């Protein structure tokens, strides 16, 4: 806000200076043309010729300024249009990344104790862990390297949820499933441990998402929207 006020004051100052210079030139030209001799130098040409000459120069300057303003306006409009498209792309990307975190997938564990189902579940958890690793890496290259505090805040919250929480849940589930497969724990103990993980995933992970990830994404989107509004002023 304060920057836009400074810019407006500078523009007003430039306009006032331009008017003063124009009026001063008119007065000086009128003073010169009203005399046949100025400082021992004869004024060559008729007054109407000089007025026509300066009138042509003034018209050319006005036309040049109008062209310059038109070009600047078109550049600004094109930049604003690109910013709107970038904002739309940002909204879509943030939505896709947020939707990609589906903790319910972690809880889709097959409880039957035969080797086939357990092996299949272990492969599923491994594939899920790899998917989240790719998601975390792509988020870093998308937002982590941007020199913007809001982008980095979103990246930090998002990747903390994935790397420090979700992937740890997958790792713990994998260990638990392997122990059950190797018959190192009873099915009742396995189900009790699974219930504990399930409670933590459904509550704590959702709380972290609601308090950190979503607000960071919202703040980042709003900050980019504000940049457009300032540009349009």
The angle, 0 to 180 degrees and rounded to 10, between the axes of the packed helices 149-159 and 115-139 is 170
- pLDDT higher for 87 or 62? 87
- The model carries a pTM of 0.70
- Under DSSP, the state recorded for 43 is -
- pLDDT higher for 62 or 164? 164
Cβ 197 vs Cβ 172: under 8 Å: yes
Cβ 199 vs Cβ 217: under 8 Å: no
* Per-residue pLDDT at 68 exceeds 50: yes
* Per-residue pLDDT at 29 exceeds 90: no
Q: What is the pLDDT of residues 92-140, one digit of tens each?
A: 999 999 988 887 777 776 554 455 578 888 888 899 999 999 999 999 9
Q: What is the pLDDT of residues 146-189, one digit of tens each?
A: 999 999 999 999 999 998 888 888 888 889 888 888 878 887 88
Question: First and final CA of the chain: distance in angstroms?
Answer: 10
* Per-residue pLDDT at 78 exceeds 70: yes
d(CA 50, CA 53): 5
Q: Which pairs from 154-157 meet CB under 8 Å and 24+ separation?
A: 154/94, 154/213, 154/216, 154/217, 154/219, 154/220, 156/216, 157/212, 157/213, 157/216
* Per-residue pLDDT at 1 exceeds 50: no
d(CA 187, CA 73): 71
Q: Which two tokens stand for residue 123?
A: 């492969």
């Amino acid at each position: 806000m304060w920057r836009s006020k400074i810019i407006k004051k500078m523009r007003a100052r430039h306009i006032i200076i331009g008017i003063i210079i124009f009026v001063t030139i008119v007065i000086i030209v009128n003073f010169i043309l009203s005399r046949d001799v100025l400082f021992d130098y004869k004024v060559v040409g008729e007054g109407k010729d000089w007025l026509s000459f300066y009138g042509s120069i003034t018209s050319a300057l006005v036309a040049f300024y109008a062209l310059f303003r038109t070009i600047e306006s078109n550049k600004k409009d094109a930049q604003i249009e690109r910013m709107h498209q970038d904002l739309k792309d940002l909204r879509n990307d943030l939505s896709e990344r947020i939707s990609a975190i589906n903790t319910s997938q972690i809880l889709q564990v097959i409880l039957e104790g035969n080797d086939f189902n357990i092996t299949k579940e272990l492969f599923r958890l491994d594939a899920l862990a790899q998917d989240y690793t790719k998601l975390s890496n792509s988020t870093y290259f998308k937002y982590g390297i941007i020199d913007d505090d809001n982008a980095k805040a979103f990246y930090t919250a998002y990747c903390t949820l994935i790397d420090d929480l979700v992937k740890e849940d997958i790792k713990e589930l994998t260990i638990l499933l392997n122990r059950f497969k190797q018959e190192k724990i009873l099915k009742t103990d396995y189900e009790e441990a699974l219930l504990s993980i399930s409670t933590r995933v459904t509550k704590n992970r959702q709380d972290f998402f609601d308090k950190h990830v979503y607000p960071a994404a919202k703040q980042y989107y709003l900050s980019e929207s504000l940049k457009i509004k300032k540009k349009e002023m």
